[in-house]
Chains A and B, each alone.
Chain A
Amino acid sequence: MSDKHDASSVPTTGHVWDDDLGDYINQPPKWWMLGLTVSAIWCVVYFLYYPSIPLSNGGTWFKGVGGWTAITEMEADKSVVDEVRGKYEAKLKDMTPAAILADSELTEYVTRSGKVLFGDNCAACHGQNGVGTHDKFGLFAPILNDDDWLYGGTIDAIHETIQGGRQGMMMAHADMLSEAEIDTLANAVAAGKPTSTPLFAEKGCTACHGEDGKGMQAMGSANLTDSVWRFDGSVEGIKYTIKNGVNAGTPDTRVAVMPAFQGSKLSDAEIKKLAVYVYKFGGGQAQ
Chain B
Amino acid sequence: MNQEVGKKEPGEVTTLYNEFETWTVNTGGQTIHAKRMPGFFRSFKDKAQLAMWLPFFLVPYLRWNGSQAILFDIQHRQFKFFGLTVLPQDIWMLSLVLLVAAMTLFAVTSVASRVWCGYFCFQTAWTDWFTWLEDKIEGNPTARRKLDVAPWTFDKIKKKLIKHTLWMLIALLTGISFSIWFVDAFEYWHDLIHLQLPTVGWVVIVMFFLGTYILAGFLREQTCFWLCPYARIQGVMTDNQTILPTYDYTRGEPRGKIRRGGEAVAPQGDCIDCFQCVQVCPTGVDIRNGQQLGCITCGLCIDACDVVMDKINKPRGLIRYASLDELSGKPAKKIYQHPRTLVYLSIILLALVGIVWGLTHMGAMTLKIVHERQPLFVQMSDGSIQNKFDFKVLNKTDKDFRVKVTAEGGVKGLVIIGAEQHPMTHHGRGTSFTIFARAPAANVEKDVVPIQFRVESLDDAKVFAEYTSKFYGPNK
Measured CB to CB, the residues of A under 8 A from B are 104, 108, 111, 128-129, 131, 143, 145-148, 223, 226-228, 280-283
Contact present for B436 and A227 (CB under 8 Å): no
With a CB–CB cut-off of 8 A, which chain B residues contact A129? 372, 374-375
**B380 CB within 8 Å of chain A:** yes
The CB with the most chain A CB atoms within 10 A, among B375, B421, B433, is that of B375
Chain B residue at minimal CB-CB distance from A143: B378
With a CB–CB cut-off of 8 A, which chain B residues contact A104? 421, 423-424, 433
Contact present for A131 and B380 (CB under 8 Å): no
- Contact partner of B436 (CB less than 8 A), chosen from A111, A148, A228, A282, is A282
Contact present for B382 and A227 (CB under 8 Å): yes
Interchain residue pairs A-B with the least CB separation, the first 4: A226-B381, A148-B381, A227-B383, A131-B375
Complex: how many Å from CA A226 to CA B423? Answer: 32
With a CB–CB cut-off of 8 A, which chain B residues contact A226? 381-383
- Contact partner of A146 (CB less than 8 A), chosen from B380, B423, B432, B434, is B380
Say how far A216's CB is from chain B's closest CB, in angstroms: 15
With a CB–CB cut-off of 8 A, which chain B residues contact A148? 380-381
**B15 CB within 8 Å of chain A:** no
Say how far B376's CB is from chain A's closest CB, in angstroms: 10
Which B365-409 residues have a C-beta within 8 angstroms of A? 372, 374-375, 378-383, 386, 388
Contact present for A108 and B432 (CB under 8 Å): yes
With a CB–CB cut-off of 8 A, which chain B residues contact A227? 379-383
- Contact partner of A280 (CB less than 8 A), chosen from B374, B380, B382, B434, is B434
Complex: how many Å from CA A223 to CA B432? Answer: 34
Complex: how many Å from CA A281 to CA B379? Answer: 13
Say how far B471's CB is from chain A's closest CB, in angstroms: 14
Say how far B469's CB is from chain A's closest CB, in angstroms: 16
Complex: how many Å from CA A104 to CA B434? Answer: 11
Complex: how many Å from CA A143 to CA B388? Answer: 15
Contact present for A146 and B388 (CB under 8 Å): no
Contact present for B380 and A147 (CB under 8 Å): yes
Chain B residue at minimal CB-CB distance from A132: B375
Contact present for A282 and B386 (CB under 8 Å): yes
Say how far A223's CB is from chain B's closest CB, in angstroms: 7
With a CB–CB cut-off of 8 A, which chain A residues contact B386? 145-147, 282
What are 30 A-to-B residue pairs whose CB atoms are below 8 Å?
A104-B424, A108-B433, A111-B434, A128-B374, A129-B372, A129-B374, A129-B375, A131-B374, A143-B378, A145-B375, A145-B378, A145-B386, A145-B388, A146-B378, A146-B379, A146-B386, A147-B380, A147-B386, A148-B380, A148-B381, A226-B383, A227-B379, A227-B383, A228-B380, A228-B381, A280-B434, A281-B388, A282-B434, A282-B436, A283-B378
Say how far B435's CB is from chain A's closest CB, in angstroms: 10
Complex: how many Å from CA A108 to CA B386? Answer: 21
Q: Tell me whether A228 and B379 are in contact in the complex, defined as CB-CB below 8 angstroms, given that A104-B423, A128-B374, A129-B374 are known contacts.
A: yes
Say how far B340's CB is from chain A's closest CB, in angstroms: 36
With a CB–CB cut-off of 8 A, which chain B residues contact A147? 380-381, 386
Say how far A82's CB is from chain B's closest CB, in angstroms: 23
Complex: how many Å from CA A247 to CA B99? Answer: 71
With a CB–CB cut-off of 8 A, which chain A residues contact B378? 143, 145-146, 282-283
With a CB–CB cut-off of 8 A, which chain B residues contact A145? 375, 378, 386, 388
Say how far B33's CB is from chain A's closest CB, in angstroms: 22
Contact with A along B408-444 (1 / 0, CB 8 A): 0000000000000101100000001110100000000
Say how far A36's CB is from chain B's closest CB, in angstroms: 27
Known contacts A143-B378, A227-B379, A283-B378, then 17 further A-B pairs from the complex at CB < 8 Å, ordered by chain A residue: A104-B433, A108-B432, A108-B433, A131-B374, A145-B378, A146-B379, A147-B380, A223-B381, A226-B382, A227-B381, A227-B383, A228-B379, A228-B380, A228-B381, A282-B378, A282-B386, A282-B436
Say how far A229's CB is from chain B's closest CB, in angstroms: 10
Complex: how many Å from CA A128 to CA B375? Answer: 9
Chain B residue at minimal CB-CB distance from A225: B381
Contact present for A282 and B381 (CB under 8 Å): no
Say how far A190's CB is from chain B's closest CB, in angstroms: 14
With a CB–CB cut-off of 8 A, which chain B residues contact A143? 378
Complex: how many Å from CA A147 to CA B379? Answer: 9
Say how far A143's CB is from chain B's closest CB, in angstroms: 7
Chain B residue at minimal CB-CB distance from A148: B381
With a CB–CB cut-off of 8 A, which chain B residues contact A281? 388
Chain B residue at minimal CB-CB distance from A144: B378
With a CB–CB cut-off of 8 A, which chain B residues contact A146? 378-381, 386
Complex: how many Å from CA A228 to CA B432? Answer: 30
With a CB–CB cut-off of 8 A, which chain A residues contact B433? 104, 108
- Contact partner of B380 (CB less than 8 A), chosen from A111, A223, A283, is A283
Chain B residue at minimal CB-CB distance from A228: B381
The CB with the most chain A CB atoms within 10 A, among B386, B421, B423, is that of B386
Contact with A along B432-466 (1 / 0, CB 8 A): 11101000000000000000000000000000000
Complex: how many Å from CA A227 to CA B433? Answer: 28
Chain B residue at minimal CB-CB distance from A192: B383
Complex: how many Å from CA A282 to CA B434? Answer: 9
Chain A residue at minimal CB-CB distance from B423: A104
Say how far A46's CB is from chain B's closest CB, in angstroms: 27
Say how far B70's CB is from chain A's closest CB, in angstroms: 33
Complex: how many Å from CA A128 to CA B372? Answer: 12
Complex: how many Å from CA A35 to CA B25? Answer: 31
Chain B residue at minimal CB-CB distance from A147: B380
- Contact partner of B388 (CB less than 8 A), chosen from A128, A223, A228, A282, is A282
Complex: how many Å from CA A18 to CA B69? Answer: 70
Say how far A116's CB is from chain B's closest CB, in angstroms: 16
Chain B residue at minimal CB-CB distance from A1: B27
Contact with A along B349-379 (1 / 0, CB 8 A): 0000000000000000000000010110011
With a CB–CB cut-off of 8 A, which chain A residues contact B379? 146, 227-228
Complex: how many Å from CA A146 to CA B388? Answer: 11
With a CB–CB cut-off of 8 A, which chain A residues contact B423? 104
With a CB–CB cut-off of 8 A, which chain B residues contact A280? 434
With a CB–CB cut-off of 8 A, which chain A residues contact B381? 146-148, 223, 226-228
Complex: how many Å from CA A283 to CA B436? Answer: 10
Chain A residue at minimal CB-CB distance from B375: A131
Complex: how many Å from CA A169 to CA B421? Answer: 39
With a CB–CB cut-off of 8 A, which chain A residues contact B380? 146-148, 227-228, 283
With a CB–CB cut-off of 8 A, which chain A residues contact B383? 226-227
The CB with the most chain A CB atoms within 10 A, among B381, B424, B432, is that of B381
Chain B residue at minimal CB-CB distance from A149: B381
With a CB–CB cut-off of 8 A, which chain A residues contact B424? 104
Complex: how many Å from CA A280 to CA B417? Answer: 11
Chain B residue at minimal CB-CB distance from A227: B383
Complex: how many Å from CA A280 to CA B433? Answer: 10
Complex: how many Å from CA A104 to CA B400? Answer: 15
With a CB–CB cut-off of 8 A, which chain B residues contact A108? 432-433
Say how far A102's CB is from chain B's closest CB, in angstroms: 9
